[in-house]
Structure 1
C-alpha cells in the first residue's frame, strides 16, 4: 500500500512560502525583511493556485519562493540587523534611565556599519551585467540629486547622489559616449553607449520639488543605498579603464558657488601620455596633408594644361569631400520600402560636433543640461553669466570669441531697447543691453538637442529667437511607411486627391451649418408670426363680432369632403416624414452622410476625382473580398487582423493630417 502524503509537503505548498512565515523563519522585523529583499533582489511571486500554495484556510496575498528564503538564512546582513536591534534596545534603556550621554556614546561607537560590497559582487558577476542594470540606478540617483533636503531625505544623501552623478557625467564627457537626448514632459532623457551597452536614463527638470507624504521614502532610501554602492563600483571601473584617478579631486568651495561639473578635476598618467602622443600625430597628419595638397595641385595643373579637366575637377572635389572612414548610409531598394536603420555616430564624430564653437548660455536657458551636452559633444569653451555660477570660460557676454549664444526669450524691438552706451575703450564692442552682437549666431536651446540627435549641424535660422520651432521628435521612435511624419510637408505624405476631398467635406459642413442656421431662423420667424396672430385674434368681448365670426366659419365650412381632403394631406405629410426617417436610418447603417433635401445637391457637387477615388476603392474592396474567399479560415482571420490594424493606423494618420491642414489654412487666412 502506498504511503499517504501529508498536506503541505509537496507541490506548490512546498515551493512557496508566505511573507509572515518568511519573517518568522528569518527572525527579523518586517522593515528589515523588506530591506534585505531589496538588497538581494528577491521579490514576491504569484503561484498558479493560491488555495493550494496556502497552508491555512485564510487567503494569503504575498508569496515568496521557499528556496529564496532558504538562501537568505546565510546572509551576513542578518547579523548586522540583529546587532542594530540589540543596540536600539540598549539606547532605549539608557534614555529611559535619563542617561543621555551613554545613549549618545552607544550610538556613536557601537552602531554597526552595513557593507553591500559582497551583494554587488553576487548580483553582478561581470561588469556588463552591472551596465545593463544601470538605467534605474541613474534615474533614481539623478532624482534624489534634485530633491530638497528634508527629514526623510537628509542632505548627506543628496550630496552623495550629486557627486556620483557628476563623476559619471565626467566619464561621458571624456569618452564622448553620449549619443542621444530628448526633452519630454517628465524630464530629459539621455542615452549613452558604454562598452556596447545602451544606457537610457531620465533626469528631472530643475524646478522646485515638493516632497509629498504619499511616497514611502524609507523604501526609496533603501534603493538609494544599494544604487549608490553600485554606481561607485561602476565609476571606479570606468575611470580606471581609461587611466583616470578615482575619485577625482573635488573643490567644495567652487561647488558651493555653483561650479557643479567644473568643480571636479580629472587626473591620470595615461591622459597626459595620450595628449603627448596625439600632438605629434596631429603634426604629422598636417604635414602629410600639406604634401598631398602640393602633389594634388601639381597634378591638377598638368591636367588643366592637357585639357582633361572637364570631369576630373568635379570628381576630385567629391573625393576630397567624402571621408574614407565615414559611416555608410543604408538606402532602401525601392521608394515604397521601409527605411533601414542607420548606424549611429562614433565617438570621434560626436567629439567633433561642437569642437570649433564657443557658446554663451544666457541666464534664462537651462545651464546644467546644456553644459553637459555641449561638453560631451566636443565643446571646450562655454561661457555664462556670473550669476549662474563659477567655472565659465568667460563671464563677458560681449567677448568676440563667442560664436553662438543660446537664448530662450523673444527678440525685443529696437524701440524697446535702451540707447547704445558710451564706451571710451578702444576696440570695445558697443552693444545695447539686450541687443544683438553682429557676427554671432543666436539660437534657441532646442537647436543643440536636434543637432546631436541628427548627428549633424542644422540650420540655425530655423531656431532663431522668437521663431516657431520645428517639431522636437523622439530619436528612439522610427517613422514607418504610411505613418504621419511632422517633419515632411503635408503634400508629400497626402494620398492622391485627399486635399480635394477634405475641401469638399469642409464645404459640405459649412453648407449644412448654413442650412441649419436658416432653418433655425425660419422657425424663430414662424414663432414670432404665430405670437403676432395670437395677439391679433385674441378673446373678443363684443357679441356682434362673435356672431360675425360664427357666420364666417359657417360660410367657410364646405362639408365633409373638405375635411377628408385635409386628413389625406396630413397622412401624406406623415408618410413623407416616415420615408425620410427610413432613409436616414439606412444612411446611418451604411455609414454615409444624410442631410435631407440637400443630399442630392451635395452628391451632385462631388468632383469627378472624388467619384473616381470612391469607385477605385470599391473595386479594391471587392477584389480583396474575392481573394479572401480563396484563403483558409485561419489565414483569413489573420488577414482581417492585419487589415484592421492597418486601417486604424491610416485613420490616425489621416486625422493628424487633417488637423495640420486646418492649422495651415487658418494661418494662411490670418496672413
Structure 2
C-alpha cells in the first residue's frame, strides 16, 4: 500500500512560505529581513493557488519561495545583524544608566561594519551582467544626489552618490561613450553604450526637492547602499580598462565652490582630464613649470622629432585599406523598394568625439550648466565657459572673450549689439571686466537655445542655428528612441507628405461650414423650415412678394448686356441663371430646399469627392468579398488588425487637423 500524502506537506504548501514564518526561521527582525532580501535580490512570489499555499487560511499574506529562505540561512550578514542587535541593547542599557560616554564609544567604535562585496560577486558573475543592471542603479543614485540632506537622507549618502555619479560621467567624457539624450517632463534621459551594452538612466532637474513623508526612505536607502557598492565596482573596472587610476583625485575645496566635474583630476597613461587640460597647457606655456633644455640636447630632440615626423607622414600618405575603412560606418540599403528596412548602425566614439570639437561655448546663467557641460564635453568640446555665479572649473568666466564661438542662452530675443569701446581710452583690465548686459549681443558670435545641443547630439551633426535663435519658436523635441511607423503621425515630416488624398479639402470645408453655421443660423433655418411647412399645408401657396422679387431679378439680369468681347459667354451665363432661377421657383412652390449653385471649382471638387467615395466603396466591397473566403479565426484576427489600424489612423488624422489649424492661424496672423 502506497504511503498517503498528508495535507500541507507537499505541493504549493511546501514550496511557499509566508513572511512571518520566514522571519521566525531566520530569527531576525522584520526591517533586517527586508534589508537582507533587498541585498540578495529575493522578492515576494505569488502562488498559483493562494488557498493551497496558505493552507486554507483566509487572511492575506506575503509568500516567498522556501528554497530562497533556506538559501538565506547561510548568509554571513545574519551574524552582522545579530551583532548590531546585541550592540543596540548595550547602548540602550548604557543610556539607561546615564553612561553617555560609554554609549557614544560603543556606537562609534563597536558598531560592526557591513560589507556587500561578496553579494555583488554572487549576483553578478560577469561584468556584462552588472552593466545590464546599471540602469536602475544610476537613476536612483542621480536622484539621491539631488535630494536635500535630512534625517532620513544623511549628507554623507548624498555626497557619496554625487561623487560616484561624477566619476561615471568622467568615464563617459573620456571614452565618448554617450550616444543620445532627451529632455522630458520627468527629467533628462541619457543613453550610453559600454562594451556593447546600451545603458539608459534618468537624471532629475536641479530644482528644490521637497522630501515628503509618504515615501519610505529606509527601503530606498537600502537600495542606495547596495547600488553604491555596485557602481563603485563598475567604476573601478571601467577606469582600469582604459588605463585610468581609480579613484580619481578629488578636490573638496573646488567642489564646495561649485566645480562639480572640475573637482576631479584623472591620471594614468599620460591621460589628463578634459576639465584640467587647458589650465595645464597655459601653465606650460608660461615657462615657469617648463624645464629649459640645453642647446645640444634641444638640437638632438629636434632632429629626432623631424625624423619621426617624416616617417609618420610617409605612413599617413599610404594608409591600408583596413585603416581607410576603420572610421566609416556601413549603411544597409534594401535590395528591393518594398523590402524591409534594416536598422542602421549607430555612430562610433570617433564621430561623437568630433561633434563639438571645433566650437568654444559659453553658458549663460539661466541655462542648466551641468547637463549642458556634460553633453558638450562628452561630444568633443574642450573649452566651455560660464559665469562666475555658476561655479569654478570654466575655461573662461569672461563673456566678452573673443574665442567664444557659440553662446547658449534661454532669454527673449537679443537684437542690440554690444557698444564698442573704440575711441575710448580704456585699459585691458577694463575690457576684460566688461560685462554684457541682458539684451546685448556680441558681434561674430552665434546665440542658440539649449535645445540645439540636445538635437545636435541626437541627430549626430550640427544643425542650423537660425531655427534655435533666442526668441524663435523651437521645433518639436522628439524622443530619439521612438521612430514613427507607417500610418502614424510624424511631426518631423510636412503635412503634404502625410495627408491622405482630399483630406485637407474636406477639413477646410468643415471649418468653413462650422464658422458660417452658428446657433443663430440654426434657429433661422428651423424658423424657415417651419414657415415652409405651414405654406405647404396651406395649399402650396408661395410667399408674398417672391414673384415680384424674382421678376425684378430677371429684369436686372436681362438689362445687363455684358461686354462686347464676351457676348457668347454672357449669353450662356444668362441661360444658366435663368435655369437656376426657374429651379428655385419650382422648389419654393413645392416646399423643397432651394438648390445651391456651384462654381466650376466647386463642381470639380464635388466630382473628385464622389470619385473618392466610389473608389472607397469599391475597395470596401472587395475587402468584404475577400473576408468571406477566410476562415473564422483569420477573419477575427483581420478585424482586430483593422480596428487597431483605424484607431491609429484616427489619432493621426486628429493630430494633422490640429497642426493644419495652427498653421492656418499662423499664416493669417502673419
Please give the range of the TM-score, normalised by the shorter of the 2 chains: 0.7 to 0.9
Report the equivalent of 1:512: 517
TM-aligned CA deviation for residue 358 of structure 1: 0.7
TM-aligned CA deviation for residue 356 of structure 1: 1.1
| 1:519/1:481 CA distance change after superposition, 3 Å | closer
Q: Is the CA contact (8 Å cut-off) linking 1:245 and 1:266 kept in structure 2?
A: yes
Q: Is the CA contact (8 Å cut-off) linking 2:399 and 2:436 kept in structure 1?
A: no
Select which of 336, 346, 349 maps to 1:347: 349
Q: Is the CA contact (8 Å cut-off) linking 2:399 and 2:435 kept in structure 1?
A: no
Report the equivalent of 2:615: 616
User: d(CA) in 1 for partners of 2:307 and 2:374?
Assistant: 28
User: d(CA) in 2 for partners of 1:337 and 1:505?
Assistant: 39
Q: Secondary structure at the match of 2:441?
A: coil
Q: Is the CA contact (8 Å cut-off) linking 1:51 and 1:59 kept in structure 2?
A: no
Q: Is the CA contact (8 Å cut-off) linking 1:404 and 1:443 kept in structure 2?
A: yes
Report the equivalent of 1:635: 634
User: d(CA) in 2 for partners of 1:479 and 1:443?
Assistant: 27
Report the equivalent of 2:465: 460
Q: Is the CA contact (8 Å cut-off) linking 2:415 and 2:441 kept in structure 1?
A: no
Equivalent pairs, count: 574
Matched, 1:448 2:460: no
User: d(CA) in 2 for partners of 1:623 and 1:432?
Assistant: 71
Report the equivalent of 2:60: 60
| 1:216/1:62 CA distance change after superposition, 3 Å | same
Q: Is the CA contact (8 Å cut-off) linking 1:383 and 1:392 kept in structure 2?
A: yes
User: d(CA) in 2 for partners of 1:485 and 1:226?
Assistant: 42
TM-aligned CA deviation for residue 499 of structure 1: 1.0
Q: Is the CA contact (8 Å cut-off) linking 1:50 and 1:60 kept in structure 2?
A: no
| 1:438/1:335 CA distance change after superposition, 3 Å | farther
Report the equivalent of 1:264: 264
Q: What CA deviation, in whole Å up to 9, does each residue of 1:367-409 have, x standing for no partner?
A: 0001101110011111111111111001111111111111111
Q: Secondary structure at the match of 1:180?
A: strand
Q: Secondary structure at the match of 2:453?
A: helix
| 1:292/1:369 CA distance change after superposition, 3 Å | same
Report the equivalent of 2:210: 210
| 1:368/1:3 CA distance change after superposition, 3 Å | same
| 1:8/1:633 CA distance change after superposition, 3 Å | same
Report the equivalent of 2:563: none
| 1:486/1:493 CA distance change after superposition, 3 Å | same
RMSD of the TM alignment (CA)? Answer: 3.3
TM-aligned CA deviation for residue 38 of structure 1: 0.2
**Structure 1 portions without partners, runs of 5+:** 294-321, 526-565, 573-595
Report the equivalent of 2:69: 69
Q: Is the CA contact (8 Å cut-off) linking 2:134 and 2:199 kept in structure 1?
A: yes
Range 70-79 or range 504-513, more displaced: 504-513
Q: Is the CA contact (8 Å cut-off) linking 1:384 and 1:392 kept in structure 2?
A: yes
| 1:354/1:519 CA distance change after superposition, 3 Å | closer
Matched, 1:473 2:478: yes
Q: TM-score, normalised by structure 2?
A: 0.80
User: d(CA) in 2 for partners of 1:263 and 1:56?
Assistant: 62
TM-aligned CA deviation for residue 334 of structure 1: 6.0
Report the equivalent of 2:167: 167
Report the equivalent of 2:561: none
Report the equivalent of 1:93: 93
| 1:451/1:339 CA distance change after superposition, 3 Å | farther
Q: What CA deviation, in whole Å up to 9, does each residue of 1:233-253 have, x standing for no partner?
A: 000000011111100000000
- Give the alignment of 1:511-550 within 5 angstroms: 511-513=516-518, 516-520=519-523
Q: TM-score, normalised by structure 1?
A: 0.80
| 1:82/1:599 CA distance change after superposition, 3 Å | farther
| 1:325/1:523 CA distance change after superposition, 3 Å | closer
Q: Is the CA contact (8 Å cut-off) linking 1:18 and 1:60 kept in structure 2?
A: no
TM-aligned CA deviation for residue 425 of structure 1: 4.0
Q: Is the CA contact (8 Å cut-off) linking 1:337 and 1:481 kept in structure 2?
A: no
TM-aligned CA deviation for residue 512 of structure 1: 3.1
Report the equivalent of 2:568: none
User: d(CA) in 1 for partners of 2:228 and 2:17?
Assistant: 31
- Give the alignment of 1:386-405 within 5 angstroms: 386-405=388-407
| 1:437/1:423 CA distance change after superposition, 3 Å | farther
